[in-house]
Structure 1
Amino acid sequence: MTSRTGWRWVVACALVAAATGCGAVRDAGGGPAAPSEPPSTPAEAADHAPARFAAQVLARAREADVDPQLLMAILYNESYKPHDPDAERAWLRLDPDAALGVANMHRPAFDEVKSAHGFADRDWLELPDDPDLAIRAAAWYLHDLAASLPDERSGAHTTAELLALGYNAGPGAMRAVARGATPGPQARSYLDRLRAHWAKAGEALTR
């Protein structure tokens, strides 16, 4: 959801490394056409991959009636930075508008979905420590985006692509592209990564 790119997280890591031990950046209906220590072993690196949240993705996608493969692919898209709770809190001190959690959710979006979908007692600041809450909020945000798609669409993008674009750029941008507007460079990059992650997301859910 965040519009921040990977290099900004590298800057954040450099700024907070002494306090947090932030390590190297890790790349981590209808599918697309065609969110603390550096890893020392492949197994350790894999522990930070979104695939480890397959059970939560399946449960929360079912709860919100959204495509679990789309939800998992978005987690892969948002995994360009290490989701270390201490590092995220340190970055939040530098940027109060930062996105938090494994789904990189901003406070206004979280506050909107929590009030509408039965977890109004939860706080955005809990996201770094609670991946299930982050996934739950992301699933419901996708649900709400789907409900706001226009009935008439240009057909240039699949539903999954439009929802991913809405997750990244907001509902207004999503609806504009659905009606035929050309996505900007950042949106196109996000969709390219979604397509690249699509098969991997599906495999993660069937292991």
Structure 2
Amino acid sequence: MAEPRSRRRWLALVVFAVVVYVLVRAADTPQAATPQPSTGAPRSATPGNSAGPSASVGPSPRATTSSYDPAAYASQVRTRAQQAGVSAQLVMAILYNEAYKPHDPAFERVWQRYKPDAAFGIANMHRATFDEVKKGRDFADRSWDELPDDRDLAIEAEAWYLHDLAAQLPTARPTSLSEDDLLALGYNTGAGNMLAFARGTTPGSQAQSYLDRLHANWAKAGKAVAG
């Protein structure tokens, strides 16, 4: 999940991570080999990393270093949101909110070495949250370390976390915030703060900023999942 209060510090420190990332990728890049003529049939494409029950949605775009557009995962969002009984538009809007940082697997792992409590995956989920959400679910045997590589798993975990947050909301809520607003705030700030907002506490500047971005992304998210 995103941590708006540390966003400025993150932006200042990200330069360091980028440098380390470039060095790591350079070290891992093999020397170019002399081209050889092809003999026989071409090899089949290497399968993706998805495995087990959480891979039942079907093929999804692979995590790459190219620019990331949450709309490319609309099919996965619709499926996972339906399974969890939550709004697909909300799941997608949160993905847009969480797209503020590079979502390249190698970059995320380099950054996590520098900042061990960093979040993983396109939904920016922390280890403790993932380990709690996966209990009793089809992806219970999956690891938080897989989130950067398996974007469908990240979406699945996000959807079920929103489901779990919704189950905690009281029926009577003396607040002008909608249920989607409260769930987004819960995703960003935790269940305790979500319940405080539901009781009428006014969101602070950081939480309000997250909510404002959600509203700005709302129509775009709805259009992305409409198909």
* Counterpart check, 1:94 vs 2:114: yes
State whether residues 153 and 179 of structure 1, in contact with CA within 8 Å, keep that contact through their aligned partners in structure 2. Answer: yes
Determine the C-alpha separation between the residues in 2 that align with 1:73 and 1:94.
Answer: 28
State whether residues 17 and 114 of structure 2, in contact with CA within 8 Å, keep that contact through their aligned partners in structure 1. Answer: no
Determine the C-alpha separation between the residues in 2 that align with 1:190 and 1:180.
Answer: 18
Equivalent of 2:102 in 66, 72, 82: 82
Determine the C-alpha separation between the residues in 2 that align with 1:203 and 1:144.
Answer: 25
State whether residues 97 and 106 of structure 1, in contact with CA within 8 Å, keep that contact through their aligned partners in structure 2. Answer: yes
Question: Which residue matches 1:155?
Answer: 175
Q: CA deviation at 1:13?
A: 3.2
Determine the C-alpha separation between the residues in 2 that align with 1:91 and 1:102.
Answer: 14
TM-score by length of 1: 0.85
* Counterpart check, 1:64 vs 2:84: yes
Determine the C-alpha separation between the residues in 2 that align with 1:116 and 1:171.
Answer: 20
Amino acid at match of 1:117: R
Higher mean alpha-carbon deviation, 148-157 vs 188-197, is at: 148-157
* Counterpart check, 1:13 vs 2:14: yes
User: What aligned pairs does 1:18-167 form with structure 2 within 5 A after superposition?
Assistant: 18-21=19-22, 45=67, 48-167=68-187
Determine the C-alpha separation between the residues in 2 that align with 1:153 and 1:18.
Answer: 47
The one-character-per-residue Cα deviations of 1:155-191 (angstroms, maximum 9, x if unpaired) are 3100000000000000010011001011111110000
Determine the C-alpha separation between the residues in 2 that align with 1:193 and 1:141.
Answer: 20
Amino acid at match of 2:188: N
Amino acid at match of 1:57: V
State whether residues 175 and 197 of structure 2, in contact with CA within 8 Å, keep that contact through their aligned partners in structure 1. Answer: no
Determine the C-alpha separation between the residues in 1 that align with 2:147 and 2:87.
Answer: 22
Q: Secondary structure at the match of 2:158?
A: helix
With over 3 angstroms needed to count, the CA separation of the structure-2 counterparts of 1:152 and 1:100, relative to structure 1, is same
Determine the C-alpha separation between the residues in 2 that align with 1:21 and 1:163.
Answer: 37
Determine the C-alpha separation between the residues in 1 that align with 2:183 and 2:128.
Answer: 18
The one-character-per-residue Cα deviations of 1:58-87 (angstroms, maximum 9, x if unpaired) are 010011010000000000000001101111
Determine the C-alpha separation between the residues in 1 that align with 2:197 and 2:224.
Answer: 29
Query: What runs of 5+ residues in structure 2 fail to find an aligned partner?
Result: 24-63
Between the aligned residues of both structures, percent identity stands at 56
TM-score by length of 2: 0.77
Number of residue pairs aligned between Structure 1 and Structure 2 = 186
Question: Which residue matches 2:218?
Answer: 198
Q: CA deviation at 1:152?
A: 1.4
State whether residues 113 and 141 of structure 1, in contact with CA within 8 Å, keep that contact through their aligned partners in structure 2. Answer: yes
Determine the C-alpha separation between the residues in 1 that align with 2:89 and 2:76.
Answer: 12
Determine the C-alpha separation between the residues in 2 that align with 1:178 and 1:65.
Answer: 20
Amino acid at match of 1:170: G
Amino acid at match of 2:129: A
